[in-house]
Chain A
């Protein structure tokens, strides 16, 4: 609830392991709010979010992340003055303990660890084709590069579930195709992906299941072919009358 506005009401759906699940709906349907609830940034007033058999809707965002749920943001949130490499190193917070004491004592083992973290970071940058931009500050990247860097930073944590908020918004066709390819590979490796996107052809080609939201309620969940022909979906996107025509 936002000041009396009910953003989501009675939303219920399941995301299966290893699926690419799409979440679509007109502007203001509640897609981002739903993503925020799943990742612990907003708390639902009622209902529950269940992940691997465990209730997570009462957990703060950092605890949700520690369970293996990574996300990106619609309005890209990078660490602007850090380089790409530093962004992706910072993204390893959960799996890089970096204890203080050995560092104060200058133990050689810390240097090996650091090399390992850099290696992982470089591999994550390579996945999104940014390895040659490693030393460029994030704020000087192009729009599409920023989106990819944000995904690399999410990937480097090794999540089981990846929540993508409009991963190809504002990207050119070439970038869209490569992003689809990356997401497909990630899913094949066993990562579960839930993505919000307005680019219909991207969603229809990529997702195995699609959930359609409108005015905070689910219209339908189904395979792309079924969703495309669902009368209420057509009505939500094109208005009343279009469905009958």
Chain B
């Protein structure tokens, strides 16, 4: 028993931060999954995570807010931003929506560089380390359950109908503007929470963390894992986050190869598994 315990704590000493990042990235992937489930291609979730991170960081550093309050405020501010942003930009469809949300992400990044309260280009530091591994995974479990159940509710059916055909959805009485904005808002809230937990994990947040590459990375988690079931994005996030460590483990220096491997996996999935890795487990669609 003690031996098992030793092995476990040794594993955690080495890979603890990796496990944390897997949890955070899974939450981020899940946040975009909600938005994608309503057929809305958003590249704004990294920026929502940033807003959440800064909100929590500012509250903790300036007001010494309790951890749970900082998290709640982060989710609320991100969600509210998502709602305000969603209302105008959700008139756009497909790639145009992606561009608008990408532009929003840049606005957030540049604002974070230039504002006093966000600490400028150096970012916010030192944010006390309050996030523990179990908290991340508790949040992940709760939100996975929430997202899985959401799908069977009226909201989830509306999201799916809009994703499949927005015009037909409206003809059935679905208020498409409302539900699209809701999908955007829920996604922003989860992303904001993930960002806040991340800020309290890393001691520091900088504007660069929430830029274009982070936004695309969250999308890639979803594409690789699959966007048809809730565990798809978690699978994608876990695999791609762990990949550099796995490569290092088998003796490949991860640095330069990492992005290449990501690219190859993405390519293979798009070519051979258009519904993502989850289609390997289940034959049933939808």
Contact = CB atoms under 8 A, between A and B. Distances in A.
Interface residues of B, number: 25
A41 B150 CA distance: 29
B167 A77 contact: yes
Given A65-B170, A93-B157, A137-B285, A103 B149 contact: yes
A58 interface: no
* Interface residue tally on A, bucketed by range: 35 or more
Contact of A96 (B154, B161, B168): B154
A82 B160 contact: yes
B171 interface: yes
Contacts of B154: 93, 96-100
Contacts of A99: 153-154
Given A79-B160, A82-B160, A94-B173, A100 B167 contact: no
A94 B169 CA distance: 11
B176 interface: yes
B164 A79 contact: yes
Interface in A35-82: 39, 41, 60-62, 65-66, 70-71, 73, 77-82
B230 to A, nearest CB: 14
A73 B168 contact: yes
A65 B173 contact: yes
> Chain B interface mostly helix, strand, loop or mixed?
helix
A234 to B, nearest CB: 35
Contacts of A137: 285-286
B172 A91 contact: yes
Contacts of B190: none
B171 A39 contact: yes
Contacts of B158: 93
Contacts of A77: 165, 167-168, 171
A41 B157 contact: no
Contacts of A210: none
Contacts of A131: none
Given A71-B171, A93-B158, A81 B164 contact: yes
Nearest to A150: B168
B170 A60 contact: yes
A61 B285 contact: no
B153 A103 contact: yes
A89 interface: yes
Contacts of A61: 170-171
B274 to A, nearest CB: 11
Contacts of B155: 98, 100
A65 B175 CA distance: 10
B146 interface: yes
A178 to B, nearest CB: 23
Contacts of B153: 98-100, 103
Contacts of A146: none
A156 to B, nearest CB: 9
- Cβ-closest 7 pairs across A and B: A79-B164, A65-B173, A98-B154, A77-B168, A61-B170, A94-B173, A100-B153
28 contacts: A41-B170, A61-B170, A61-B171, A62-B170, A65-B170, A65-B171, A65-B172, A65-B173, A70-B172, A73-B167, A78-B164, A79-B160, A79-B165, A79-B168, A80-B165, A82-B160, A82-B286, A90-B172, A91-B172, A93-B158, A93-B161, A93-B172, A93-B173, A94-B172, A96-B157, A98-B154, A98-B155, A103-B152
Given A114-B152, A157-B172, 9 more contacts: A60-B175, A62-B175, A66-B173, A77-B171, A78-B168, A89-B157, A90-B161, A93-B174, A100-B154
